[in-house]
Amino acid sequence: MKRLFMFKKYIALLIVVMITGTIQAQDTLRIDFRKAVDLALSANAAYQTQSNNMEVLKLQKQSAFLSHFPNANINSSLSQQSGQQFQQIEGEIVVTNVTNEIVNAGLNMSMPIFNAGRRILDTQSAKLAYEAGEKGLDRASQQVMFDVARRYLQVLLDQEIVRISLENLDNQKETLRQIEGFVDAGLRTLSDKYNQESEVARLESVLVDAELQYENDVWDLSEYLLLEPGVVPVLESVDPKSGELRFDGMGMQELYEIAQLNRADGTQQDLLVTSYKKDMQAIKAMYYPRIGAFYNYNTFFTSLDDRNLQDQLWKVYPQNTLGLSLSIPIFNNFQTRLDVSRSKVAYKNQILQKESVDRKIYQDVKLAYLNYMAAVKKETNTGIQVLAAKEAQIAIAERFRLGISNFVDLATANQQLVAAQSDQAQAIYTLYFQEVLMQHALGTLEVLE
């Protein structure tokens, strides 16, 4: 039995050494939470995509605003005509077979005067779409920070569990040495020694599991931050007990009202609904007559005229045209009706999307509220649990030393103490994370800059 125990012990130690060696062989990067958020924002594809889309929304907003000003175009052409040319000389048309080189130039300007408010609606819609994009980008940054916080705190919790497991293993090894002394003195039986050796081996396996969990969560964070292959983050610790319970005592209705005011995705959907509505109204304006103003300046040069280029272009042939245009839609193959129908469907779908987001906001707040209240209770209960387990372990350890209690009682007390310490660490970090989750659900999570 002793030989089997020693074999398991060496195997467990070998695994721990392999894990530790693997971690130490990697390049490490010491980061704090702020730097982790910065790395995630620069690496997250969804956030960067929305950030890139903001450039398009910005240009759309500028284009809609500039549509209130005239359009201007300059045109020019150079051509050569060979063959019969018609010329008017002294009131007669003369046909000659020559080569004619022609230069045309012109300036065209146009500006809508009345189009049933379409320009105004387009401008308002583009402005609302840009503001909605900003809100969407804010929510995306909050989501990235929330994802980082969840992974960051999980790694710190894993470190705490490893510390507790290692401390407990050292304590049990010390107990094993004491029992071996008792056995040599004839105060304890060999069965107590073998039982303690088994307990130490079990705790070595627990330490291995804790190390494995830590390594997995570290790599999960590394992948989310898109660190270089082989780079392992070393995290700056946070004090999970330092945060105040800012939501303790607040009711569900109060929290939901805060979320309605602060959730960026909810505001984004409100802006998009109004934007889509104005888009639909702008397209409906195509049913009505449109009035526009235009100005054209045209001139040309011909090699058939003996005067020089400058005189022909600027003095002889210039033409100025200034006028108004009226366009009355009668039939355009139902194209306007199709566009209106599409915009109406998009508007209705956006209303459905808004209602879906509103429901999600309520569900997020409700779930965060329930988890937060449970975390508060667990943190309080585990504190009491640890105190009781410590007192029980101290009492039973003393009774065991005096030979009053047996090994089973001592092992049970030790296991209960370790379980209580692990539960407390879990509860403390869970409560700290639930604070972050509540802020994320309410839309008040401030992105570090």
| 191, 277, 383 from 441: Cα distances, Å | 55, 28, 27
- Classify residue 203 as exposed, middle or buried by CB count within 10 Å of its CB (0-12, 13-18, 19+): buried
Find how far residue 118's CA is from the centre of its chain: 35
Q: Is residue 402 classed as helix, strand or coil in its secondary structure?
A: coil
Q: In the prediction, which pLDDT does 414 show? A: 83
Q: How far apart are CA 31 and CA 35, in angstroms?
A: 6
Nearest to 276 by CA among 382, 377, 361, 352: 352
Q: Which residues contact 184 (CB under 8 A, 6 or more apart)?
A: none
Distance CA 77, CA 81 (A): 13
Cβ-contact 212, 239 below 8 angstroms: no
Model confidence over 327-351: pLDDT tens digits? Answer: 999 998 999 999 999 999 999 999 9
Q: Let me know: does 225 contact 43? Beta carbons within 8 Å.
A: yes
Structure tokens at 405: 């209690």
Instruction: Note the pLDDT of residue 405.
Output: 75
Cβ count within 10 A of residue 31: 19
What are the start-end ranges of the H helices in 285-406?
309-311, 335-401
Tell me, yes or no, if the pTM score tops 0.85: no
pLDDT tens readout for residues 178-192: 888 878 887 777 888
Q: CA–CA distance from 394 to each of 100, 171, 421 (Å)?
A: 114, 13, 15
Q: Helix crossing, 407-442 with 118-184: angle to 10°?
A: 170
The first and second tokens of residue 410, run together, are 């001592």
Task: Give, in order, the Cα–Cα distances in Å from 360 to each of 137, 348, 355, 445.
Answer: 18, 19, 9, 17
Q: For residue 326, what are the contacts with CB-CB under 8 A and spacing of at least 6?
A: 289, 290, 291
For every residue of 210-264, DSSP letters joined together read HHHHHHHHHHHHHHHHTPPTTEEEEEPP--TTSS--TTTT--HHHHHHHHHHH-H
Cα–Cα distance for residue pair 8/1, rounded to 1 Å: 11
- Identify the CATH class of 2-69+115-288+333-442: mainly alpha
pLDDT at 242: 62
Q: Are 84 and 95 in contact (CB under 8 A)?
A: yes
Question: What pLDDT does 24 receive?
Answer: 47
**pLDDT by 10-residue block (mean), the chain, 449 residues:** 45 48 64 92 92 95 93 93 68 71 93 92 95 95 93 92 90 85 80 86 92 95 91 87 73 92 95 96 94 94 86 90 93 92 96 96 94 90 90 84 76 84 88 90 81
Backbone angles phi, psi at 247, to 5 degrees: -105, 0
Domains in the chain: boundaries: 2-69+115-288+333-442, 74-112+291-328
- pLDDT score of 23: 46
Instruction: Report yes or no: 129 and 277 within 8 Å, Cβ to Cβ.
Output: no
